[in-house]
């Protein structure tokens, strides 16, 4: 990041919307006066940009995928490439800053791994060394008048040094126990820098020592704090010369090798479903698979599934199979029927992900063909047939969120919307539309969050054969009717931060509270009459945010819900206590 007047220029991380492993570094400019931001380059690999003294050009380091680097001059108005400076010696440019109108200064590294402070002519690319080549790490040059302040390794720490163009000499500015970075001149001998401390980075103001470097400072074999080190090779020979080259026979690497490679597991927490998944990826990342278990708190059903995705083409193709136990059907007559089901699906998805401004965006559109077989249980198996049916499913998931600070429970600004429409392929015209959304806003204080929820469901009047993904009012035995909508309000805030651990096994980071109110309106047929049902609940949830083994995040909660209306499936219940357990308690 660099500034000039009211303009700030910086490089921003961006990834390809389609290929997650393909990323970019784009140049963006922010105007402090108009509070507006512009993207100057797209799908580029630029780092360490700086604005010229006249504000008309930008000088940036361009890193090629093959490991080479070049200096590019860009037009500051639109990011157009003006010139690519030659680099015949194959130097690697790091932080680069304009020094004069047509000069720049950079910490460069040669092909032997040594670094130097260098002046670059931005017209022809010619280089003048300002320091000898050294094994000391050099970085963060900051020009000021006829001087260039920079960081350089000095025994155990990184200190601030200065190059003076008048005497063409380098002197030491600091001798501190900890490292200093990003030096900046305040005029005269007064400097400010970032000091590394045990409590994080701190800005420090100090006076330059202006010490002359001791004799032999640039000698690589001089005595130093690293008194016991021994070189692997003398200065007159190259280490790689002593390495024996052993030829190996080459074999063709088949693309199907390591198709199954389980590598990680992760919980699923998407109300009303909780679950756990195990993931596998193909060696070339062309195919991925998943084994999962899910519990649906609305249906109180258990599902075991397996999915496979093939991503070499676009859109992504996928297939899967699952077995569900203890599912429930709303018969539309106020009764429910328990059954098991087996399902197979085949489909395609368009997953996209990108960053824009301060927000991360995700968008996934999908279409699936599903074949499902029902196996009735209990008394229903003597009444209903074990039907098989097929249906098409079309889904759309959208997510947008800004960056989240460590102490924030959720992003301060975020939106999440998911829609799923299912339509049978038979003559009975069974359909179901479900939409769930969550909207995140800042609360009254920095670490408080207001979360608004909205859900909508519309289906046919026949018995419900589709799985239930509608998030019902907390505390109630959920219904699934021909038309339902829900709105809810949540207010999350931390109570205190224990920062307490036990034997490197459990570490309690935060205790937080959520106050909620849910309102569900459902239309169903009760005793032969079409009735509007209102289910409202209010209560509180207290969560303990922990880390198991100081690594695995685990949140355990207790929920109290006060039912403000009759629970049609259990009218005697008015107060309900629930223990909210994470599915990743046992990794």
pLDDT tens for 550-579 read: 777 888 899 999 999 999 888 889 999 998
Asked if 59 and 71 touch (Cβ cutoff 8 Å), the reply is: yes
Burial class (CB within 10 angstroms; exposed 0-12, middle 13-18, buried 19+) of 423: middle
| Alpha-carbon distances of 375 from 194, 339, 431, 481, rounded to whole Å | 68, 6, 20, 22
Averaged pLDDT of the chain: 87
Q: What is the pLDDT of residue 587?
A: 36
Which of the pair, 450 or 240, is modelled with greater confidence? 450
Q: What is the pLDDT of residue 314?
A: 81
Q: What is the pLDDT of residue 237?
A: 57
pLDDT of 333 strictly over 60: no
Q: What is the pLDDT of residue 227?
A: 47
- The pTM assigned to this predicted structure is 0.72
Q: Rounded to 5 degrees, what are φ and ψ at 381?
A: -70, -15
Over residues 283-307, the mean pLDDT reads 85
- C-alpha–C-alpha distance, residues 42 and 50, integer Å: 17
Which of the pair, 364 or 525, is modelled with greater confidence? 364
Asked if 430 and 458 touch (Cβ cutoff 8 Å), the reply is: no
- C-alpha–C-alpha distance, residues 49 and 185, integer Å: 20
Asked if 360 and 400 touch (Cβ cutoff 8 Å), the reply is: yes
- The region of weakest confidence among 271-285, 433-447, 482-496 is 271-285
Which domains does the chain carry?
2-212 (2.120.10.30), 335-580 (2.40.160.50)
pLDDT of 183 strictly over 80: yes
Which of the pair, 396 or 245, is modelled with greater confidence? 396
Q: What is the pLDDT of residues 368-384, one digit of tens each?
A: 999 988 888 766 666 66
pLDDT of 424 strictly over 50: yes
**Long-range contacts from 290-299, C-beta under 8 angstroms, 24+ separation:** 292/268, 294/268, 295/583, 296/272, 296/467, 296/468, 297/271, 297/272, 297/273, 297/478, 298/272, 298/468, 298/470, 298/471, 298/472, 298/478, 298/480, 299/326, 299/327, 299/328, 299/467, 299/468, 299/478
Q: What is the pLDDT of residue 281?
A: 85
Q: What is the pLDDT of residue 296?
A: 84
Asked if 83 and 57 touch (Cβ cutoff 8 Å), the reply is: no
- Lookup result for tokens 């640039």: 218
Structure tokens at 51: 């604005």
Q: Measuring CA to CA, which residue among 323, 336, 334 is closest to residue 377?
A: 336
Asked if 493 and 447 touch (Cβ cutoff 8 Å), the reply is: yes
pLDDT of 164 strictly over 80: yes
- C-alpha–C-alpha distance, residues 281 and 386, integer Å: 37
Q: What is the pLDDT of residue 586?
A: 38
pLDDT of 97 strictly over 70: yes
| Alpha-carbon distances of 130 from 97, 305, 410, 530, rounded to whole Å | 14, 64, 49, 86
pLDDT of 332 strictly over 50: no
Over residues 310-319, the mean pLDDT reads 87
């Amino acid at each position: 990041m660099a500034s000039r007047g009211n303009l700030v220029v910086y490089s921003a991380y961006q990834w390809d919307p389609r290929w997650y492993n393909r990323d970019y570094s784009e140049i963006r400019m922010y105007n402090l006066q108009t509070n507006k931001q512009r993207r100057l380059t797209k799908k580029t690999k630029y780092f360490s940009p700086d604005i010229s003294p006249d504000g008309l050009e930008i000088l940036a380091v361009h890193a090629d995928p093959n490991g080479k680097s070049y200096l590019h001059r860009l037009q500051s108005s639109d990011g157009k490439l003006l010139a690519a400076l030659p680099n015949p010696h194959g130097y690697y440019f790091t932080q680069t800053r304009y020094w004069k109108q047509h000069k720049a200064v950079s910490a460069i590294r040669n092909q032997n791994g040594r670094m130097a402070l260098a002046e670059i002519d931005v017209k022809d690319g010619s280089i003048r060394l300002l320091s000898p080549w050294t094994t000391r790490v050099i970085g963060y040059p900051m020009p000021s008048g006829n001087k260039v302040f920079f960081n350089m390794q000095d025994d155990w720490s990184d200190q601030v040094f200065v190059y003076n163009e008048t005497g063409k000499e380098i002197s030491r500015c600091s001798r501190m126990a900890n490292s200093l970075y990003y030096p900046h001149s305040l005029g005269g001998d007064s400097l400010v820098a970032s000091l590394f401390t045990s409590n994080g980075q701190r800005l420090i103001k100090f006076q330059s020592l202006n010490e002359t470097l001791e004799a032999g400072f640039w000698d690589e074999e001089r005595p130093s704090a690293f008194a016991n080190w021994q070189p692997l090779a003398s200065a007159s020979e190259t280490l790689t010369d002593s390495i024996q080259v052993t030829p190996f026979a080459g074999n063709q690497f088949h693309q199907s090798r390591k198709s199954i490679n389980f590598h990680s597991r992760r919980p699923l927490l998407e109300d009303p479903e909780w679950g756990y998944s195990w993931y596998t990826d193909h060696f070339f990342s062309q195919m991925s698979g998943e084994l999962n278990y899910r519990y649906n708190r609305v249906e109180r059903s258990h599902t075991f599934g397996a999915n496979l995705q093939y991503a070499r083409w676009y859109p992504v193709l996928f297939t899967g199979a699952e077995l569900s136990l203890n599912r429930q059907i709303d018969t539309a007559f106020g009764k429910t029927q328990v059954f098991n089901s087996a399902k197979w699906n085949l489909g395609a998805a368009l997953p996209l992900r990108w960053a824009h401004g301060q927000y991360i965006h995700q968008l996934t559109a999908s279409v699936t063909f599903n074949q499902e077989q029902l196996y009735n249980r209990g008394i229903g198996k003597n009444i209903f047939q074990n039907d098989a049916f097929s249906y098409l499913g079309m889904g759309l998931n959208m997510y947008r969120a800004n960056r989240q600070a460590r102490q924030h429970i959720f992003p301060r600004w975020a939106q999440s919307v998911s829609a799923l429409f299912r339509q049978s392929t038979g003559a009975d015209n069974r359909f179901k539309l479900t939409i769930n959304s969550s909207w995140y806003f800042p609360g009254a204080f920095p670490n408080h969050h207001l979360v608004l929820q909205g859900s909508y469901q519309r289906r046919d009047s026949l018995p419900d054969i589709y799985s239930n993904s509608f998030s019902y009012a907390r505390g109630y035995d959920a219904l699934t009717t021909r038309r339902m909508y829900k709105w809810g309000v949540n207010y999350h805030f931390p109570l205190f931060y224990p920062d307490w651990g036990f034997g490197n096994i459990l570490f309690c980071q935060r205790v937080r509270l959520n106050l909620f109110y849910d309102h569900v309106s459902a239309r169903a047929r009760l005793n032969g009459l079409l009735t509007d049902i209102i289910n409202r609940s209010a209560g509180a949830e207290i969560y303990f945010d922990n880390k198991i083994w100081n690594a695995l995040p685990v949140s355990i909660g207790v929920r109290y819900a006060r039912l403000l209306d009759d629970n049609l499936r259990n009218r005697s219940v008015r107060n309900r206590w629930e223990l909210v357990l994470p599915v990743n308690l046992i990794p």
